[in-house]
Amino acid sequence: MVFFMFLFEVCFVFWIISVASGPSPYYGVVGLVFGAVFGCLMLVGVGGSFISLVLFLIYLGGMLVVFAYSVALTGDPYPSAWRGYVDLFCMVSYVLFVVGAVMYCFDEWSLEGYGDVVMDASGLFSVRMDYVGVSWFYYYGCVMFLIAGWGLLLTLFVVLDLVRGLAWGTIRSI
């Protein structure tokens, strides 16, 4: 299990560094996808299975898809991958930076208590510490859920109306 966590962490850092040092957004999206996959697997390893699934769904299935479409619309026609020694130098310096940061702050960072389910809050009441409470939002809190959904729909229409005119619209005139 420790080996799995180590493997996931190494792969995560590798893909994130490939995003940071890559010159083109096309290959950066690939790196984001795989980095997010390994990040979710890391979350499963410390006990956040629900939040990992939610991250998969929303980040990979929602935001990355939208980002990939926008990159496909606006990207350059001849994307360049890792070019040579310049990017290798970037990657090595990022790795050294990450390792140096971890070594510097080793005493302060810990994942202790991440997978705990219930915690005591000042002796007054108990707080549930995992993220399964989000699923309660969809069942017990359905009215609030509907109002939140309505608020998002309203925001869409308000933003569309504010940017409607080309040069005489509300925001453009400022």
CB of 156 to other proteins, least distance (A): 9
Which two structure tokens, joined as six digits, stand for 30?
A: 């690939």
Question: Is 154 an interacting residue with respect to other proteins (CB under 8 A)?
Answer: yes
CB of 168 to other proteins, least distance (A): 5
CB of 125 to other proteins, least distance (A): 7
**Geometric angle at alpha carbon 94, from 88 and 99, rounded to 5°:** 130
Report yes or no: 136 and 142 within 8 Å, Cβ to Cβ: no
Question: Is 99 an interacting residue with respect to other proteins (CB under 8 A)?
Answer: no
- CB-wise, 116 or 161, nearer to other proteins? 161
- CB-wise, 101 or 147, nearer to other proteins? 147
Q: How far is CA 145 from the centre of its chain?
A: 23
44-47 contacts: CB < 8 A, separation 24 or more?
45/1, 45/4, 45/5, 45/8, 46/5, 46/111, 46/114, 46/115, 47/114, 47/115, 47/130
Question: Is 124 an interacting residue with respect to other proteins (CB under 8 A)?
Answer: yes
Report yes or no: 23 and 31 within 8 Å, Cβ to Cβ: no
Question: Is 105 an interacting residue with respect to other proteins (CB under 8 A)?
Answer: no
Question: Is 125 an interacting residue with respect to other proteins (CB under 8 A)?
Answer: yes
Question: Is 150 an interacting residue with respect to other proteins (CB under 8 A)?
Answer: yes
Question: Is 133 an interacting residue with respect to other proteins (CB under 8 A)?
Answer: no
Question: Is 147 an interacting residue with respect to other proteins (CB under 8 A)?
Answer: yes
CB of 158 to other proteins, least distance (A): 5
* Residue 96 burial class via C-beta count within 10 angstroms: exposed 0-12, middle 13-18, buried 19 and up: exposed
Residues that bind other proteins (CB under 8 A): 124-125, 144, 147-148, 150-151, 153-155, 157-158, 160-162, 165, 168-170, 173-174
